[in-house]
Amino acid sequence: MQAFIHPTLVKLFDGIKNFQQRAYELDSVNMKGLVEDGQHPKILLIACSDSRVDPAILTNAEPGDLFVIRNVANLVPAYDIESKYDGARAAIEYAVRDLEVEHIVILGHARCGGINALLKTLSGQKIQRDFIGDWVSLAMDGCMHYAIEQIAKSDNELGESVSEVNLDNLREHQHLVERAAIRGSLDNLRTYPWIKQRIDTEILNLHGWWFDLESGDLWATDAENTVFLPVIE
Ligand SMILES: [Zn+2]
């Protein structure tokens, strides 16, 4: 009997062999410590499931560095004690209350299919999917609040009327909607009582990041998590 590796998966199998050499044969101490002492990541990173924005690849992270949650459009649902079967909330709770991470980063990105689905829903198009429409609607409040605020601001600077802000504007500014969704998820994180308590006592920090797929640039929120600024070294 031999394990079956489908031809499409051979590249992954080769990757695991490479990792085994790198992490176990050449640098066995790190993995040994992680196995014996357990994981102690300081960062919870919430990213999109999109294949182009794998957080470990983007950040060159090592085993033990990141506790990661990935879902469509990197969304965080608000605290809801009645919701019993939700992977995102359970993983957030484990990261914060058990692993005691010190930072939560929400990593969004350009050309997000989930945010595009949200924009379609907002413009009245029916998403022919069983779960995606409801899931991305989690970003509705953040999108309506922060994206419209931002677009209205830039329109005002151009001398245009705030009343011109509508769904067409939103579609033209998908990157603002992506960033607005990140801010909405940061707001939702603050609805978890044990997260709010840790923020208030300054043992936990929230961060919003947005990755520009086209240029490779990273944008990050300021200390108040209100605006996104390019990260320049
Ligand atoms: Zn995405």
CATH number of the domain within which 49 lies: 3.40.1050.10
The answer on 128 and 70 residing in a single domain is yes
Does 136 share its domain with 116?
Answer: yes
Ion ligand 1: residue ranges with CB closer than 5 A: 48, 50, 112, 114
Q: How far apart are CA 203 and CA 195, in angstroms?
A: 10
Q: Which residue positions in the chain have pLDDT lower than 70? A: 151-152, 154-168
Residue 51: closest CA among 4, 8, 3, 109: 109
Number of domains composing the chain: 2
Whether 134 and 121 have beta carbons less than 8 Å apart is answered as: no
Specify the pLDDT at position 145.
Answer: 82
Cα–ligand 1 centroid distance for 208 (angstroms): 14
Q: Are residues 4 and 74 in the same domain?
A: no
If asked whether residues 146 and 160 sit together in one domain, one would say yes
Q: Which H helix or E strand runs over 105?
A: strand 103-109
> How far does the centroid of ligand 1 lie from the alpha carbon of residue 197, in Å?
30
CA dihedral 142, 147, 153, 154 (to 10 degrees): 160
CA angle 147, 148, 153 (to 5 degrees): 100
Q: How far is CA 93 from the centre of its chain?
A: 16
**Which pLDDT belongs to residue 167?**
66
Ligand 1 midpoint to CA 113 (Å):
5
At residue 159, the pLDDT reads 46
CA of 47 to the centre of ligand 1 (A): 8
Looking at residue 162, its pLDDT comes to 42
How far is the centre of ligand 1, averaged over its atoms, from the C-alpha of 207 (Å)?
Answer: 17
Measured in angstroms, how far is the CA atom of residue 74 from the centroid of ligand 1? 7
Same domain, 184 and 81: yes
Distance 73 CA to ligand 1 centre (A): 4
Residue 98 structure tokens = 């058990």
214 CA → ligand 1 middle, Å: 14
On the 0-12 / 13-18 / 19+ scale of CB atoms within 10 A, 94 is middle
Beta strands at 103-109 and 205-211: parallel, antiparallel or unpaired: parallel
Q: Residue 12, CB half-sphere, CA atoms under 13 Å: how many?
A: 6
111 shares a domain with 217: yes
State the residue range of the domain holding 193: 40-230
Q: How far is the CA of 24 from the centre of ligand 1 (A)?
A: 33
Q: Model-level pTM greater than 0.75?
A: yes
